[in-house]
């Protein structure tokens, strides 16, 4: 398949430059487009074979449901069978924006789109390109992140090209996305409502609007229970090399990472570190990358997936990462990082003196 790439320039009339993309969607094709969270892979959500095309392009398991993107609140009524008061309040507070709601589905939505479920995920993105494209494409666009299954979600059009060239009809290059991690998902079909995927809209922000919100307790642990969002069970966002998170006091973390790096070097491996700007100077790996300031979670979210892809490109075998706060937006960052690492975490509690190091090697 020949994939057409179009680039949005400042001052473009979006309705004009996106007309062809809208026509492709209406004709049943697949178009990748920027949203404020990550790039999405869009197709008409109400056509039964669209989901299959998306799954095929992504190599995605068919039980993994898609989010339907809308551009006007009232369109929610066409795809859901019940809109509770809480959904209206959440929409008022966070739409358009990085928030997805799970609601009972209407008969108009094919089971192919919902992965066989009786519920449907709905989001209204705030990115102007996404909004205009949804409108021109018929109003109901199913869109997972535009990566091949198992790769980090794309935050630049170049990432989409790497994964999707030749597999879809069009890629719209709208520059870097704003947020960098996927939307928060809240399930409103249960009481209390439950966050199934943490994102930049945090539990406490949601609680301010609708009261008590629960969290899927499988999100930051790995206890064998299946998460309620089917997609969360897969080892997403996996880098090519092995990723290990090291947590603890900053000095201990630096010391431990450097020690692991020396061991990996001795074994002939290429090493990398994902560090905060505050701690970067202390590392001795082959490739050391700053994910941002520890005090700026938005910066960290914005850099994380790009950095994971860069380590792939540079063929780094072993990557060590600092851990980040597991509160607020930090919870979303840690959730993605833990998944990328397959939950491999080293917790350092004490300094290993030089004399002990030799012995611990044996």
Residues that bind ligand TXA (CB under 6 A): 35, 37-38, 40, 64-67, 100, 102, 114, 117, 119-121, 123, 125, 143-145, 182-183, 185, 196, 228-232
SS3 118: coil
Whichever of 40 and 272 has its CB closer to ligand TXA, that residue is 40
Regarding 149 and contact with Mg ion (CB under 5 A), the answer is no
Least separation in angstroms between residue 305's CB and Mg ion is 10
Q: Per-residue b/e over 207-240, b at no fewer than 16 CB within 10 Å? A: eeebeebeebebbeeeeeeeebbbbbbeebbbbb
Q: How far is the CB of 120 from ligand TXA (least distance, A)?
A: 6
* Comparison of 243 and 273: residue with beta carbon closer to Mg ion: 243
Distances (CA, A) of 158 to 64, 110, 146, 232, 299: 25, 32, 11, 25, 20
The residue with its CB nearest to ligand TXA is 231
CB of 316 to ligand TXA, least distance (A): 25
Q: How far is the CB of 325 from ligand TXA (least distance, A)?
A: 21
Distance CA 106, CA 113 (A): 12
Q: What share of the chain is helix, strand, coil (3-state, %, to 5)?
A: 35, 20, 45
Name the residue number minimizing CB distance to Mg ion: 145
| DSSP assignment letter at 314 | T
CB of 105 to ligand TXA, least distance (A): 7
Query: Going by C-beta distance under 8 Å and a sequence separation of 6 or more, which residues neighbour residue 228?
Result: 187, 194, 196, 216, 218
Does residue 184 belong to the site contacting Mg ion (CB under 5 A)? no
Q: Which is nearer to Mg ion, 256 or 336 (CB)?
A: 336
Nearer to ligand TXA, 39 or 311 (CB): 39
Q: Site residues for Mg ion, window 293-352 (CB under 5 A)? A: none
Contact between residue 321 and residue 246 where contact means Cβ atoms under 8 Å apart: yes
Q: Which two tokens stand for residue 139?
A: 């109003």
- In the complex with ligand TXA, the residue whose CB is nearer, 79 or 341, is 79
Backbone angles phi, psi at 274, to 5 degrees: -100, 110
Using CB distances below 5 to 8 A depending on partner kind, what does residue 114 bind out of Mg ion, ligand TXA, none?
ligand TXA
297 binds, among ligand TXA, Mg ion, none (CB under 5 to 8 A by kind): none
DSSP-derived 3-state class of residue 302: helix
Q: What is the closest distance, in whole angstroms, from the C-beta atom of residue 233 to Mg ion in the complex?
A: 12
User: Least distance in Å: CB of 145 to Mg ion?
Assistant: 3
Distance of closest approach, residue 159 Cβ to ligand TXA, in angstroms = 13
Q: Which is nearer to ligand TXA, 201 or 261 (CB)?
A: 201
**Residue 318 or 339 having the CB closest to ligand TXA:** 339
- Name the pairing type of β-strands 170-173 and 99-104: unpaired
**Residues within window 107-146 making contact with Mg ion, judged by CB under 5 A:** 145
Contact 322, 276 (CB under 8 A): yes
Q: Give which of Mg ion, ligand TXA, none residue 276 binds (C-beta under 5 to 8 Å, depending on kind).
A: none
3-state secondary structure 194-263: EEEECCCCCHHHHHHHHCCCEECCCCCCCCCCCCCCHHHHCCCCCCCCEEEEEECCHHHHHHHHHHHHHH
Residues that bind Mg ion (CB under 5 A): 145
């Amino acid at each position: 398949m020949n994939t057409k790439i179009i680039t949005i320039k400042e001052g473009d009339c979006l309705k004009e430059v996106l007309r062809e993309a809208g026509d492709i969607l209406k004709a049943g094709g697949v178009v990748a487009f920027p949203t404020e969270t990550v790039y999405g892979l869009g197709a008409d959500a109400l056509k039964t074979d669209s989901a299959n095309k998306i799954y095929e392009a992504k190599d995605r398991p068919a039980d993994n449901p898609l989010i339907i993107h809308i551009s006007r609140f009232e369109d929610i009524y066409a795809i859901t069978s019940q809109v509770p008061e809480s959904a209206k309040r959440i929409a008022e507070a966070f739409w358009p924006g990085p928030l997805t709601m799970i609601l009972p589905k209407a008969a108009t939505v094919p089971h192919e789109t919902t992965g066989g479920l009786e519920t449907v995920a709905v989001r209204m993105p705030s990115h102007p390109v996404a909004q205009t494209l949804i409108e021109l494409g018929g109003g109901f666009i199913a869109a997972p992140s535009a990566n091949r299954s198992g790769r980090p979600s794309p935050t630049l059009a170049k990432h989409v090209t790497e994964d999707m060239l030749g597999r879809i009809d069009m890629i719209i290059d709208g520059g870097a996305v704003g947020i960098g991690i996927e939307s928060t998902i809240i399930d409103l079909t249960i009481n209390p409502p439950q966050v199934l995927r943490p994102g930049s809209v945090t539990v406490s922000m949601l609680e301010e609007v609708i009261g008590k919100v629960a969290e899927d307790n499988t999100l930051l642990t790995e206890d064998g229970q299946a998460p309620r969002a089917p997609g969360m069970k897969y080892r997403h966002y996996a880098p090519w090399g092995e990723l290990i998170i090291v947590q603890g006091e900053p000095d201990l973390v630096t010391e431990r990472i450097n020690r692991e790096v020396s061991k990996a070097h001795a074994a002939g491996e290429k090493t990398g570190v994902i560090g905060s700007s505050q701690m970067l100077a202390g590392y001795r790996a082959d490739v050391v990358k700053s994910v941002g300031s520890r005090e700026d979670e938005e910066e960290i979210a914005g850099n994380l997936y790009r950095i994971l892809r860069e380590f792939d490109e540079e063929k780094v075998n072993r990557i060590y990462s600092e851990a980040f706060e597991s509160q607020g937006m930090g919870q979303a960052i840690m959730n993605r990082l833990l998944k990328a690492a397959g939950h491999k975490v080293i917790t350092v509690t004490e300094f290993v003196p030089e004399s002990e190091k030799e012995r611990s090697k044996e």
